[in-house]
């Protein structure tokens, strides 16, 4: 969308969830800088009226701030010219049956904005938990149109919506969640003018549904061949094969390509689904008009660890790789490798670990002449498939929630470095046999998680990474995973939030310059904008997401947390109840139990200024 693209160049506004189509999360604003950030103060706050995990962050468009909440997905428009007065509020009615089919808390990663065009008003688009995509009049909050993207709105097929839509050209793109329920993933483009369907592309299945051309679509430079997805599954397993699309999307207006990644193959039990399980765990480049796949790259063929490939792709033009400037795409995958690709051709340029503890694969094969080209070289000891069903494979790094999950990184064109919120967590993984029933969990593994052994004892790092060379430049340890999106600014400050609830600012060497404890854990993404000549920093608090599910889902009360920690510390013999806590919430409840010592549920926007 030409107008939106232009608007994203004005740093006073924040018009897309990730700042721009390239997902850089960078702002040229520099009023708040490394010398004065220590003087940051809370300017104003706003309670969202909802508890549980608050992901995403506010959009700011010409004096109006828009954001939404977790289920029930209330949308607010606040008037910045009138002290944050509520201009309008939209509260949809949704079937609460969708709550239990959301794997990783009732999160939502934010709303999207579409500028007015012709007689269509400017829109705020929200993709709801029940998979309704609703277009609201940005001025009034009135519903302009609404479509249901999933098969039903009551959770009966295990489908849900958590991702932020992306407005591009005259369309809006949404994905689907439910990889833990055997949902067959797809992305769908709807026409902005009336919500009619433009195109849909599945992650698995026949070529005409995956929108793949056997000759023209390439994987690492070679045509994919006929029905490449079908060939990589046994029987009709692709129909319940996952590859959901709940992460972030990117758009390159010049190449007219859309980029995104697909999630884990279903079930988590790899023994049950032989083959490469294409095109789960894959970065897709698709033609924005037709949805046809131009190229694909599967990062984790035949996943055995739940390393969803949905994390954001960041598009940068100023990286020199082996002395050559490249139109690059950079992706920090759950599997612990950071990938740099040529985004025009899909050529693999760099693939390196961005946490040294990553052990499930030794490296990614980079020799184009090898039959293993582009494939991670799996270390047998950590193969949950090889070890088989009902066998507990221990000490796998990273854990299922990856070296990074949905929390988006930032890129600074000033330093040419990426600032990445990461997890530093390992796991034990025991696959077991499951059968598919629509709307029922189709997980097939028991997982427990713990801080990376033999390291700094914490569960996270905030790092700076050079995607041209594949090197970690610095790494700042954090007690918990950094589950919040980062923001880099021209003031030579980088911001992020922590699960305990701190908003932090660091300098370009990772030294902490400022921290402030907000009312609840932060899993939202830090944004910035300027209003009446003043720069502001805004962030949502509200602990939750997968890492915070113990608190958000009420699976762990403070007493439970203490008892569990005693058992883990060997202060008393573990009981069955301890084991149940340890593996609840798909393994996250035990791992993050200590979080209950630092924070509790909330739902608040905090805005800072000098
Ligand atoms: N959501 C979070 C979060 O918001 O903290 C973390 C995760 C999800 C994961 O680690 C997942 O694997 C995941 N998987 C799916 C899926 O497979 O469809 C969906 C979601 C989601 O929509 O939130 C998550």
Q: What is the DSSP secondary-structure string of 319-330?
A: EEETTEEEEEEE
Q: Summarize pLDDT for 290-310 with one digit per residue, the tens.
A: 999 999 999 999 999 999 999
**What is the position in ligand 1's atom list of the atom closest to the CA of 263?**
17
- Looking up tokens 């962030």 gives 539
Alpha-carbon dihedral sign for residues 461, 15, 9, 492? negative
Q: Summarize pLDDT for 81-138 with one digit per residue, the tens.
A: 999 999 999 999 999 999 999 999 999 999 999 999 999 999 999 999 999 999 999 9
Distance CA 242, CA 121 (A): 36
- Looking up tokens 């060939």 gives 231
Alpha carbon of 518 to ligand 1 centroid (Å) = 24
- Which residue, 11, 40, 100, 26, is CA-closest to 610? 40
List domains and CATH numbers for the chain. 61-204+241-248 (2.40.128.630)
Residues lining ligand 1, Cβ inside 6 A = 55, 103-105, 107, 162, 177-180, 244, 246, 263-264, 308, 401, 405-406, 545-546
Alpha carbon of 129 to ligand 1 centroid (Å) = 12
Mean pLDDT of the chain: 96
Q: Summarize pLDDT for 335-380 with one digit per residue, the tens.
A: 999 999 999 999 999 999 999 999 999 999 999 999 999 999 999 9
CA–chain centroid gap for 77, Å, is 24
Alpha carbon of 247 to ligand 1 centroid (Å) = 8
Alpha carbon of 52 to ligand 1 centroid (Å) = 15
* pTM of the entire predicted model: 0.97
> Model ipTM?
0.99
475 beta partners? 463
Distance CA 477, CA 424 (A): 9
Residue 558, pLDDT > 70, answer: no
Confidence of residue 221 (pLDDT cuts 50, 70, 90): very high
Alpha-carbon dihedral sign for residues 554, 557, 563, 565? positive
Structure tokens at 167: 């407005």
- Helix/strand/coil percentages in the chain, nearest 5: 15, 35, 50
Residue 545, pLDDT > 60, answer: yes
Mutate to test the pocket of ligand 1, among 56, 70, 103, 522 (most ligand atoms within 8 A of CB): 103
Protein residue whose Cα sits closest to atom 17 of ligand 1: 179
Distance CA 532, CA 535 (A): 9
- Widest distance between CA atoms in the chain: 69
CA distances from 196 to 117, 145, 162, 171, 193 (A): 16, 9, 21, 10, 8
Identify whether the C-beta of residue 125 lies closer than 8 Å to the C-beta of residue 139: no
The half-sphere exposure of 290 on its side-chain side, counting CA atoms within 13 A, is 10
Confidence of residue 586 (pLDDT cuts 50, 70, 90): confident
- What residue spans of 128-247 are helical by DSSP H? 207-210
Q: What are the residue numbers of the active site?
A: 306
Mutate to test the pocket of ligand 1, among 179, 245, 406 (most ligand atoms within 8 A of CB): 406
Distance CA 216, CA 232 (A): 19
């Amino acid at each position: 969308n030409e107008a939106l693209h232009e608007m994203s160049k004005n740093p006073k506004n924040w018009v897309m969830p990730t700042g721009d189509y390239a997902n850089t999360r960078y702002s040229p604003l520099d009023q708040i800088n490394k010398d004065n950030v220590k003087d940051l103060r809370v300017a104003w706050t706003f309670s969202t009226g909802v508890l549980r995990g608050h992901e995403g962050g506010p959009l700011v468009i010409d004096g109006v701030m828009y954001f939404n909440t977790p289920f029930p997905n209330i949308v607010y428009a606040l008037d910045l010219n009138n002290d944050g007065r509520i201009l309008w509020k939209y509260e949809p009615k949704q079937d609460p049956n969708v709550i239990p089919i959301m794997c990783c808390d009732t999160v939502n990663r934010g709303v999207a904005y579409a500028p007015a065009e012709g007689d269509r008003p400017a829109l705020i688009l929200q993709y709801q938990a029940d998979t309704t995509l609703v277009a609201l009049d940005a001025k009034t909050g009135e519903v302009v149109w609404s479509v249901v993207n999933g098969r039903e709105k009551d959770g009966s097929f295990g489908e849900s919506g958590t991702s932020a839509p992306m407005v591009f050209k005259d369309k809006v793109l949404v994905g689907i969640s439910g990889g833990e329920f055997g949902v067959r993933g797809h992305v769908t483009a709807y026409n902005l003018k009336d919500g009619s369907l433009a195109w849909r592309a599945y992650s698995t299945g026949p070529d005409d549904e995956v929108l793949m051309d056997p000759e023209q679509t390439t994987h690492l430079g070679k045509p994919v061949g006929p029905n490449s997805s079908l060939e990589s599954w046994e029987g009709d397993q692709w129909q319940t094969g996952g590859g959901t699309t709940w992460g972030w999307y990117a758009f390159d207006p010049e190449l007219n390509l859309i980029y995104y990644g697909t999630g884990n193959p279903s079930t988590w039990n790899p023994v049950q689904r032989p083959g490469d399980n294409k095109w789960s765990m894959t970065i897709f480049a698709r033609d924005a008009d037709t949805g046809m796949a131009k190229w694909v790259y599967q990062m984790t063929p035949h996943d055995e660890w739940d390393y969803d490939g949905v994390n954001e792709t960041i598009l940068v033009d100023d990286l020199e790789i082996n002395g050559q400037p490249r139109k690059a795409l950079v992706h920090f995958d759950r599997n612990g490798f950071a990938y740099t690709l040529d985004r025009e051709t899909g050529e693999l340029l760099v693939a390196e670990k961005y946490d040294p503890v990553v052990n499930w694969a030794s490296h990614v094969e980079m020799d184009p002449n090898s039959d293993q080209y582009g494939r991670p070289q799996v270390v047998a000891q950590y193969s949950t498939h090889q070890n088989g069903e009902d066998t507990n494979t221990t000490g796998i790094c990273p854990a299922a929630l990856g070296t990074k999950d949905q929390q988006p990184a930032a890129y600074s064109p000033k330093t040419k470095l990426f600032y990445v919120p990461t997890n530093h967590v390992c796991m034990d993984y025991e696959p077991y046999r499951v059968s598919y029933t629509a709307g029922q969990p189709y997980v097939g593994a028991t997982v427990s998680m713990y801080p990376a052994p033999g390291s700094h004892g914490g569960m996270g790092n905030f790092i700076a990474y050079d995607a041209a060379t594949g090197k970690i430049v610095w790494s700042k340890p954090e007690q918990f995973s950094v589950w919040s999106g980062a923001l880099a600014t021209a003031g030579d400050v980088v911001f992020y939030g922590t699960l305990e609830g701190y908003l932090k600012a660091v300098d370009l060497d990772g030294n902490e310059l400022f921290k402030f404890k907000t009312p609840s854990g932060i899993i939202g993404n830090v944004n910035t904008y300027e209003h009446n000549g003043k720069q502001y920093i805004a962030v949502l608090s509200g602990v939750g997401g997968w890492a915070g599910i113990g608190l958000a889902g009420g699976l762990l009360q403070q007493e439970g947390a203490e008892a569990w920690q005693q058992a883990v510390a060997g202060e008393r013999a573990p009981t069955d109840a301890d084991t149940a806590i340890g593996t609840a919430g798909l393994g996250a409840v035990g791992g993050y139990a200590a979080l209950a010592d630092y924070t509790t549920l909330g739902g608040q926007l905090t805005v800072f200024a000098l």
